[in-house]
Amino acid sequence: MKKLALTYLILASVLWGTSGIFVHFLAPFGFSSLQMTFLRALVSAAALGIYILITNRSLFKANIKQLLLYIGSGVSFFLTASSYYISMQATTISTAVVLMYTAPIFVMIYSVAFLGERLTKTKTVAVVAMIAGCGLVSGIIGGLKFDLTGILFGFLSGISYSAYNIFTKIEMRKKCNPISATFYCFLTAVILGAFICNISSLPSAFAENLPVTVPLAIGLGIFTCVLPYFLYTLSLKVLPVGTASALGIIEPMAATVFSVIIFREVLGIYSCLGIVLILGSVFLLSKSED
């Protein structure tokens, strides 16, 4: 059973790492980062809503306090994905995904500053390694050219992702149902996106090539959101949260491999070293919480 759970977790991480592929092929048709986030959330909310209708309609119920938490996670989810996609297009897929994975560091800093968690030697080393790694990946260290906008949005995706993780932790402590929490998270992102992503231009973007754009949009929601979240949830029934978090570094590794093999992105020695430092710091934090 544990081997099967590990397989689910690895598959989920690899599927999350395919986001760059869908963004790469959707962007040329005129889809903005905000619109792709909206479409991802729309497909995911629809799929999860159908699942709840078929299995257990009581999962739609939520009180005011729960809804406020779900809205917080939904806004964080929307900001994370949108910033990630913008960073990806401005820099590279590998740079964007690694910067997003600075999230555990921000969660740790928040926990030490406001939740009374102890700052251990392991956490200190992780922070130092992360800062050095970010300097190498971004190009600040090593004299490389870098896109400031892309780097800033990369860090914003990490901060937003850390906020999403914090909201999720609070939801689980409050005994919120994970399926309900995930559905309302996606639904919040859909509502937010409908107001700010200029959905009136979506028909013209889809019309560029319907046989290609429609499957890509559906795939963005199913393969980078619905399936990995479902597999991840199944794995957590067997695996400790710390183990799952530690193995989550497979996602940026998978995204980096896809970017090199499919899109021929070139990774220099400084970038490779920075990726190793950042993922190593995330791994250290994950193991320290196990």
| Separation of alpha carbons 189 and 73, rounded Å | 9
Residue 108 to residues 18, 36, 111, 256, 285, Cα–Cα distance (Å): 27, 30, 5, 25, 8
Residue burial 118-135, b: 16+ Cβ < 10 Å; e: rest: eeeeebeebbebbebbbe
**CB contact at 8 A, 121 and 69:** no
Within its chain, how far is the Cα of 15 from the centroid? 11
**Which tokens hold the place of 275?**
């990726």
- Backbone φ and ψ for 147, nearest 5 degrees, come out as -95, 110
Is the entire prediction scored with pTM above 0.75?
Answer: yes
**How many angstroms separate the most distant Cα atoms in the chain?**
57
| Separation of alpha carbons 276 and 192, rounded Å | 35
Q: Indicate the helix (H) or strand (E) that contains 164.
A: helix 148-173
**Which tokens hold the place of 206?**
């889809």
| Separation of alpha carbons 96 and 2, rounded Å | 32
- Backbone φ and ψ for 143, nearest 5 degrees, come out as 70, 20
**CB contact at 8 A, 174 and 108:** no
Q: Which of 61, 11, 25 is nearest to 211 (CA)?
A: 25
Domain spans, the chain: 2-288
Q: Using alpha carbons only, what angle is made at residue 210 by residues 197 and 195, rounded to the nearest 5 degrees?
A: 10
pLDDT tens by residue, the chain, 290 residues: 677 877 888 888 889 889 989 999 999 999 999 999 999 999 999 999 999 999 999 999 999 999 999 999 999 999 999 999 999 888 888 788 878 877 777 777 777 777 677 777 877 787 788 777 777 766 655 544 567 888 889 889 988 988 887 888 788 778 888 888 889 999 999 999 999 999 999 999 999 899 999 999 999 999 999 888 778 777 766 766 556 666 666 777 788 788 888 888 777 787 788 778 877 877 776 666 55
**Which tokens hold the place of 16?**
């999350």
pLDDT at 143: 47
**CB contact at 8 A, 39 and 217:** yes
